[in-house]
Chain A
Amino acid sequence: LAKTTQPISMDSYEGQEVNITCSHNNIATNDYITWYQQFPSQGPRFIIQGYKTKVTNEVASLFIPADRKSSTLSLPRVSLSDTAVYYCLVGAVAQAAGNKLTFGGGTRVLVKP
């Protein structure tokens, strides 16, 4: 399983864009990059997933450079309710047994008024 490294914490202010970068130097050819958000006392919630280049949905954008050794989750115009822990995961989207994702420590994002 590819190991990921992301900052422990980040502070931001309402209305700003937050960019969280995740390093995954030994990502495999079949691996996808997936990001989750977790609020206190709740289970994680899927945000976005990508393989290369850029992926955008109604919540966030995911930027993946050509070498795929890192990725950046971008949260546009954050609000106080975006305060949460954000996890970067790397793993294959396998049909058969053997596919499991590892949640690391995540990045604690604090959005201030």
Chain B
Amino acid sequence: EADIYQTPRYLVIGTGKKITLECSQTMGHDKMYWYQQDPGMELHLIHYSYGVNSTEKGDLSSESTVSRIRTEHFPLTLESARPSHTSQYLCASAVLGSNEQFFGPGTRLTVL
């Protein structure tokens, strides 16, 4: 089992709220990723990081931001949630030099 955790697992909030989705891994992986996936649809990469203080935007434009202050922690923040942000958010990590990504259980976000 991969040691990668996401909290909360489910979140229902109102429009305009600021939220932070947490992702932590205990494997010492340098690479971390955030994906967004609607039910039955493709995964879209929204952010990734190659190590502390490294963050990059992914293929899908996102209004969220990320930070990587510690190797094990890669939180994603939405400053003002909107109904269009309703989706599942998946965090993953991998070692440098590998394409084997380990995924967390996901956070299912609903913005009313």
Among the stretches A17-25, A42-50, A72-80, the one at the interface with B is: A42-50
How far apart are B28's CB and chain A's nearest CB, in angstroms?
16
User: With A93-B97, A93-B99, A95-B96 in contact, is A103–B42 under 8 Å at CB?
Assistant: yes
Instruction: Find the B residue at minimum CB distance from A106.
Output: B42
Q: Which 10 residue pairs are nearest across A and B when measured between Cβ atoms?
A: A43-B103, A103-B43, A46-B100, A34-B99, A97-B50, A43-B90, A95-B97, A95-B96, A105-B42, A93-B99
Q: Which residues of B contact A45 (CB under 8 A)?
A: 103
Residues of A within 8 A of B33 (CB): 100
Consensus secondary structure, chain A interface: loop
Interface locus among B14-22, B53-61, B62-70, B71-79: B53-61
- Taking a contact as CB atoms under 8 Å apart, the answer to whether A91 and B103 are in contact is no
Residues of chain B lying within 8 A (CB to CB) of residue A100: 33, 45, 48, 56, 58-59
Choose among B99, B102, B104 the residue that contacts A91 (Cβ–Cβ < 8 A). Answer: B99
